[in-house]
Amino acid sequence: MRDITIESTDLLLVIDVQNDFCQGGALAVPGGDEVVPVINALMGHFSQVVLTQDWHPAGHSSFASSHDGAEPFSEIDMPYGPQTLWPDHCVQGSAGAEFHAQLDSHAAHAIVRKGNNKALDSYSAILENDHRTPTGLMGFIRERDIQRVFCCGLALDFCVRFSAEDISDQGIECFLIGAACRGIDLNGSMAAATESFADKGITILS
Ligand code: VGL
Ligand code: ZN
């Protein structure tokens, strides 16, 4: 990976590599499966690995099906701000919410579940979509004295993006591993993500 040497104080953060975001899933990200072998190889280089799991109760407020007449991929106003509505996905305990079968999930030190609150979505692994409710991962990062976070997974323009931004906003150096991410690209979300990474000094490693 370029000229970067991985240290024991580096964290690999693997975001939402779950069946519903992979081929045949309810919210499949194009090429989502392709990140799995890349991430498995990366995990061997890190002494600290955290996985996240999008983990919604049935009837979650981010599901279009929870709003009369709403179409998936439309947007509504929630008390905490605008929210994209998605097809039902990553329902707690469903096969779609499981990690991809080939992901070496046993290598992880911790698993953070997010989006559990029915009334509030959570793209970021750090803060829910109200941008104030913590998931607890920042406590893990601080307590273990992690200096740099390397993010990968799905989807680059949603959960990976907002996780990286929150980590960077907390003053922790953050990198994206481009070959281990794939995006959805909804209404210019990929261009918006790229612009925001540049603004915040978040580097995409090739
Ligand atoms: C995600 C949309 C809804 C993601 C999760 O993991 O990027 N996107 N829930
Ligand atoms: Zn979700």
Ligand 1 pocket check for 63: Cβ under 6 Å: no
Closest-CA residue, ligand 1 atom 1, reads 159
What is the tens place of the pLDDT at every residue in 34-89? 999 999 999 999 999 999 999 999 999 999 999 999 999 999 999 999 999 999 99
Question: What is the reported pLDDT for 93?
Answer: 97
Question: Which ligand has the nearest atom to the CA of 92?
Answer: 2
Q: pLDDT of 110-146, one tens digit each?
A: 999 999 999 999 999 999 999 999 999 999 999 999 9
Decide if 90 is catalytic: no
Q: What is the pLDDT of residue 206?
A: 86
Q: Is the pLDDT of residue 2 over 70?
A: no
CA distance 23 to 21: 7
Judged against a pLDDT cut of 80, whether residue 1 lies above it is answered with no
Q: At what angle do helices 161-169 and 189-200 cross, to 10 degrees?
A: 20
Question: How do the domains of the chain map onto residue ranges?
Answer: 10-55+89-205
The C-alpha angle 152, 156, 162, rounded to 5 degrees, equals 90
- What distance in Å separates the CA atoms of residue 14 and residue 12, rounded to the nearest whole number? 6
Active site residue 16: yes
Q: What is the CA radius of gyration of the chain?
A: 16
Q: Are strands 203-205 and 173-182 parallel, antiparallel or unpaired?
A: parallel
pLDDT at 45: 96
- Known catalytic residue at 159: yes
15: β partners: 52, 153
pTM over 0.75: yes
Cα separation, 63 vs 70, in Å, equals 9
Burial 171-192 (b: 16+ CB within 10 A, else e): ebebbbbebbbbbbbeeebbee
Give CA–CA dist 21/111, Å, rounded.
17
What CATH code is assigned to 10-55+89-205? 3.40.50.850
Report in angstroms the alpha-carbon separations of 189 from 158, 174, 192: 8, 20, 5
pLDDT band (50, 70, 90) for residue 96? very high
pLDDT digits (tens, 9 = 90+) for 138-169: 999 999 999 999 999 999 999 999 999 999 99
Each residue of 172-197: pLDDT tens digit?
A: 999 999 999 999 999 999 999 999 99
Query: Which comes out higher in pLDDT, residue 2 or 154?
Result: 154
pLDDT at 3 over 90: no
